[in-house]
Amino acid sequence: MKHLVLIFLALVSVTPIMAQDANITTQLYDTYESYKEPSLDKRRIKYQDIQVLLAALAKNAKFSVNKVGSSIGGKSLNLISIGTGATDVFLWSQMHGNEPTATQAIFDILNFLDSPDFAEEKQAILSNLTVHFLPMLNPDGAELFQRRNLLGVDINRDALRLQSPESQTLKRVRDSLEADFGFNLHDQSTYYNAERTDKPATISYLAPAYNYEKDINEVRGNAMKIIVFMNSILQKYAPGQVGRYNDDFEPRAFGDNIQKWGTSTILIESGGYPEDTEKQEIRKLNYVSILSAIYTIAKENYKDIPISEYEKIPENDRKLFDLKIKEVTYKLMGKSYKIDLGINQVEVDYEDHKDFWYSSRIWDQGDLSTYYGYETFDATGFTIREAQVYPKLISTMEALKTLDAKTILQQGFGYVRLKNIPSKALNAPFPFHIIGEKHETPKLQLKPGINPSFFLEKDGKLTHAVINGFLIDLAAENIAIPNAMLFR
């Protein structure tokens, strides 16, 4: 309740400013599909995926596209600029290769700026601002869907030594522009929540400190004002789902240093949103909030926003699980215990890093009453039962497809033996595990780190299965899950 009150007060205090830009914000949200770049529809986008888009922009007289550097792997780093205004706004994304949400949103924004629509608003933006985009700062990391670059360096901790060419490029571009505003665009774990709530931190913000004292000068203060404005927008579309990062000074970080160098820097982290695995709704929220912020910078409406509202944004916390099972009965060594289980559905990339499968884990167990789940199951009165092995040996993968998976699960079988497991198979495309002819399944002992696979029983009847960390209602018509595990 305390945090709902704070959100309400924050909204009330910025309402006059918000009202000035409410019309464009609503229209941006409602018309988004007209500008969404359709070729970038998955998170694991690669350097090659954006080359055709950059080539088209380079031929467009509205934009200036210039190579400003190269990655360690020799991939070009390009700066896209548009506008004629005296105020420079600089946006850079994907300095961490596995954080692509804002890169997609940047190309949506570029499509918007290229369109003939919103002529009056775009005139205000482009006559008052020059907007610069440096998408995919770490293309080598993006290729491998990994955080660090090929040197194994976290670019966002290389602002002092500047040992990576990507870091050198970012510093050189910032200095050459002497940018007035900077948007440092990232993804964060989907397991962050707005403090003391079960709501995911769908978007988190930070106006980085530029010294250990966390002083607030005009440069940092302007960043705080922009964040307050963006928060007021997001409360309409993701109420209570905005967080604020701890602002302890990190002397190696680019955001902290760019703030120190005189650019009002807004860190944006894209987190989680229910049933949005590919973060396409979060991409849309990036598009709407960033474009609205650019517009308010152009109109200078942000100047009247009180800085005090910044501290009222709830802090980030990290207390979310993909699945939380509450107060389930677990029998161990002849005794019964009541425990909570926190389960995360962990992504594992295929070799080409273009797609993934799940290898879930119990992340924590015990008293998890201060934690939350994207999905929460109250297991009061339910008892955990060990999954059994189906008694028949199946010869081929094709024969497996003829089995009635629902019946198998209802009988308490979570594992099926397969005589001929395809050599290239990495997981099981069924709601039960595949095991080899001689594989011995270990006796179930719940502990963090194991794959969560068991059944839930109530009043002597199996009602639910947990297979590879996914909860299955055995009475449901559809019992499909993304994948189960394969144990040779």
- The string of pLDDT tens digits covering residues 55-65 is 999 999 999 99
pLDDT for 9: 44
Residue 302: phi and psi, rounded to 5, are -65, -20
Same domain, 142 and 287: yes
Same domain, 69 and 203: yes
Same domain, 181 and 312: yes
Same domain, 382 and 300: no
Average per-residue pLDDT for the chain: 95
- Answer whether residue 75 shows pLDDT above 60: yes
Average pLDDT of the residues in 440-454: 96
Rg (CA), the chain: 25
Same domain, 428 and 313: no
pLDDT for 100: 98
Spell 448-485 as b/e; 16+ CB within 10 A means b: eeebbbbbbbeeeeebbbbbbbbbbebeeeebebbbbb
Q: Residue holding tokens 């009222």?
A: 312
- Answer whether residue 2 shows pLDDT above 50: no
Same domain, 312 and 343: no
pTM for this entry: 0.93
- Answer whether residue 11 shows pLDDT above 90: no
The residue from 286, 302, 317 where one domain ends is 317
- Answer whether residue 21 shows pLDDT above 90: no
| pLDDT single digits (tens) 233-276 | 999 999 999 999 999 999 999 999 999 999 999 999 999 999 99
Which residue from 453, 372, 381 is spatially nearest to 413, judged by alpha carbons? Answer: 453
| C-beta atoms surrounding 356 within 10 Å | 17
Same domain, 89 and 23: yes
Q: What is the DSSP letter of 41?
A: -
Which residue from 444, 446, 466, 471 is spatially nearest to 455, judged by alpha carbons? Answer: 466
| C-beta atoms surrounding 61 within 10 Å | 5
- Answer whether residue 371 shows pLDDT above 70: yes
Same domain, 327 and 441: yes
The residue from 317, 345, 365 where one domain ends is 317
| C-beta atoms surrounding 72 within 10 Å | 16
pLDDT for 15: 53
Same domain, 422 and 302: no
List the Cα angle 35/36/41 in 5-degree steps.
Answer: 165
- Answer whether residue 390 shows pLDDT above 50: yes
**What total of structural domains would you count in the chain?**
2
Same domain, 89 and 124: yes
Q: What percent of the chain is predicted at pLDDT more than 90? A: 95
Same domain, 463 and 377: yes
Residue 81: phi and psi, rounded to 5, are -130, 145
Read off the CATH number of the domain in which 245 is found: 3.40.630.10
Q: Which two tokens stand for residue 176?
A: 């050459």
Same domain, 331 and 252: no
Long-range contacts of 21-25 (CB under 8 A, 24+ apart): 21/292, 21/295, 21/296, 21/299, 21/301, 24/118, 24/121, 24/292, 24/295, 25/233, 25/236, 25/288, 25/292
The residue from 248, 283, 317 where one domain ends is 317
Which residue from 432, 487, 467, 464 is spatially nearest to 345, judged by alpha carbons? Answer: 467
Q: Residue holding tokens 């998170």?
A: 43
Domain that holds residue 150: 2-317
pLDDT for 102: 98
pLDDT for 20: 52
Which residue from 233, 163, 191 is spatially nearest to 14, judged by alpha carbons? Answer: 233
Q: Which two tokens stand for residue 396?
A: 């081929």
- Answer whether residue 1 shows pLDDT above 70: no
- Answer whether residue 89 shows pLDDT above 80: yes
Q: How confident is the model at residue 22 (pLDDT cuts 50, 70, 90)?
A: low
Average pLDDT of the residues in 356-374: 98
| Helix 280-299 × helix 218-237 angle, to 10° | 130
| pLDDT single digits (tens) 111-143 | 999 999 999 999 999 999 999 999 999 999 999
Q: How confident is the model at residue 172 (pLDDT cuts 50, 70, 90)?
A: very high
Q: How confident is the model at residue 19 (pLDDT cuts 50, 70, 90)?
A: low
pLDDT for 23: 77
